[in-house]
Amino acid sequence: MSIQWYPGHMEKAKREVTEQLKRVDMVIELADARVPNSSRNPMLDSIMKDKPRLLVLTKSDMADPTVTASWLEAYKQDGLEVISINARKQQGVKSLIEKSKQLTAPFFEKRMKKGIRPRAIRAMVVGIPNVGKSTVINRLVGRNTAKTGNKPGITKAQQWLKVGSTMELLDTPGILWPKFEDPLVGYRLAVTGAIKDELLDFGDVALFAVNLLKERYSDALKERYSLADPLPVEGIDLYEEIGRKRGCLKAGGIIDYEKAAEIIIRDIRSLKLGAITLETPLDWGNGR
């Protein structure tokens, strides 16, 4: 799948993040719990340098809880500070604040020894588009100060927001990276909506999703689309069967692949197939 999707505003956002880094005490990196590693921008490692960083797996309600637990364990074994949250239901938000206090405690202790008065934690919030960044920020702040939406590219500019007297958050636009080294990363991000739909070949994305679901969530497929055992061996045959079940037919009984693809992707994103995760730590070799 070839996608041209690295617009100029993302390059500008990358420069601005790099420039603002010296003004913050820590970084809160958000990743989608459905695609934890695929939704982590590899450029951040070089940009963030030695800043304390908290990895937050968002949208945990949409992800397979068993797989999320394995990701948390894999990241912790890798030495990362990580939590999962469901910002829409306020689950894990307090843990985010407490973890941030722990991570910045050494910095503030040094300041106190120098006689510098305490102040709020200054944290930069980063993540790729559509990772739920604005929803997390709104829950932390306690009001809808950041625009939200189920599509990438909502946040266009940086802004500072206060979390009571405890924290000050620097909201940044979502930043993708110029090239996917692994094409599977592109497919996973496309399924979750991190890449604008108008840039995608929905048929290719849906076929990828069907193959993955057949392998890992076959029962969910059978239940959602009333499919009988055994499922078709080939992914394209399964794709067509779903199209027939959903009435995606043109004149002469020909499958309307585009319509079928839209239904499949929409069903995944709206949890019609339940909470699913598109990658496991084993897909990456111990999670990295």
Of 52, 49, 106, 110, the closest CA to residue 79 belongs to 52
Q: Is residue 284 part of a domain?
A: no
Per the structure, the count of domains in the chain is: 2
Tens of pLDDT, residues 210-267 = 999 999 999 999 999 999 999 999 999 999 999 999 999 999 999 999 999 999 999 9
Q: Residue 241's domain spans which residues?
A: 201-274
56: helix, coil or strand? strand
User: Global pTM?
Assistant: 0.89
Q: Provide the CATH number for the domain around residue 112.
A: 3.40.50.300
How far does CA 268 lie from the centroid of its chain? Answer: 14
Q: What does the H/E/C string look like for 196-220?
A: CHHHCCHHHHHHHHHHHHHHHCHHH
Concatenating the DSSP letter of every residue in 242-256 gives: HHHHTT-B-GGG-B-
What is the band of 16 on the pLDDT scale with cuts at 50, 70, 90? confident
Which sign does the torsion angle of CA 175, 171, 169, 87 carry? negative
Adjacent-strand bridge partners of 171:
125, 159
Of 240, 282, 275, the closest CA to residue 257 belongs to 240
Q: Tell whether 127 and 238 lie within a shared domain.
A: no
Q: Is residue 182 part of a domain?
A: no
What is the band of 10 on the pLDDT scale with cuts at 50, 70, 90? low
Q: Provide the CATH number for the domain around residue 234.
A: 1.10.1580.10
Task: Specify the pLDDT at position 271.
Answer: 97
Of 113, 101, 130, 117, the closest CA to residue 32 belongs to 130
Q: Tell whether 53 and 146 lie within a shared domain.
A: yes
Q: Tell whether 125 and 13 lie within a shared domain.
A: yes
